[in-house]
Amino acid sequence: MAVEERRIVVAVDESEESMHALSWFLKNVLSRNSQSTLTILHARRPVAVYPGVDKTSSLFSHDVFSSLERRDTEMATWVLEKATKMCSPYDVKVETRVEEGDPREVICEMVNSLKADLLVMGSRGYGVLARSIMGSVSNHCVQNANCPVLVVKMPKSSPVGSK
C-alpha cells in the first residue's frame, strides 16, 4: 500500500503562539506513517519606509536601513532554526522559506504555489476590537487559503495559585 505524501505549510514568526502551534501539530496531528514535507514559512514584513522618506534621505540613512534589514534577517534565521530544531525528533522532511511582504498575502500565495494540503498557524487570541483594528492573519488565511487551515490557540494559563 502506498504511503500518502502530504505537503504541509507551517507559518511561524517570533511569537510564542506560532511555536506552540508547530509543537502541537507535531505532537498531535503529524502521522507516524505518512510521508509529509513540512515547509516552515516565515513571512517577513518589509522595512517600513514612510512617504517622503527614502533610503537616501537624511532622515533615513542607508546605515539605518541596512541595520533594520540585518536585524530582520537575523530574526528570520533565528525563527527558522528554532522551528527546524523542534521538528528534529520527528520523521519528517523539513524545508524552510522566508518570503517578504504582508504576512496574510504571503502565506496564502505560498500555500497556493506549493499546492499545500494543510496550513498550520497559531493565533494570538486578540479580542474583537484588536482584530478589527489590526486585522487577523489567521482569520484572513482561513477565509482565503486554498487548503484546510488548522489554527492552534495557546491554552489559557491558569491564574497564579490555582490548582
Pairs from 144-148 (Cβ < 8 Å, separation ≥ 24): 144/104, 144/108, 145/107, 145/108, 145/111, 145/112, 145/116, 145/119, 146/108, 146/111, 146/112, 147/111, 147/116, 147/117, 147/118, 147/119, 148/117, 148/118, 148/119
Distance of CA 22 to the CA centre of its chain: 9
pLDDT, tens only, 95-120:
999 999 999 999 999 999 999 999 99
Q: Of the candidates 102, 126, 107, 131, which has an alpha carbon nearest to the alpha carbon of residue 118?
A: 107
Supply the pTM of this predicted model: 0.81
Q: Of the candidates 111, 80, 82, which has an alpha carbon nearest to the alpha carbon of residue 97?
A: 80
How far apart CA 68 and CA 60 sit, in angstroms, is 11
9-47+59-153 CATH, one of 3.20.20.70, 3.40.50.620, 3.30.70.260, 2.60.290.11:
3.40.50.620
Residue 162 predicted with pLDDT over 50: no
How many CA atoms lie within 13 Å of 38's alpha carbon, on the beta-carbon side?
27
Mean pLDDT across the chain, nearest whole number? Answer: 83
pLDDT, tens only, 36-64:
899 999 998 877 665 555 555 555 566 77
Q: Where do the structural domains in the chain lie, given as residue ranges?
A: 9-47+59-153
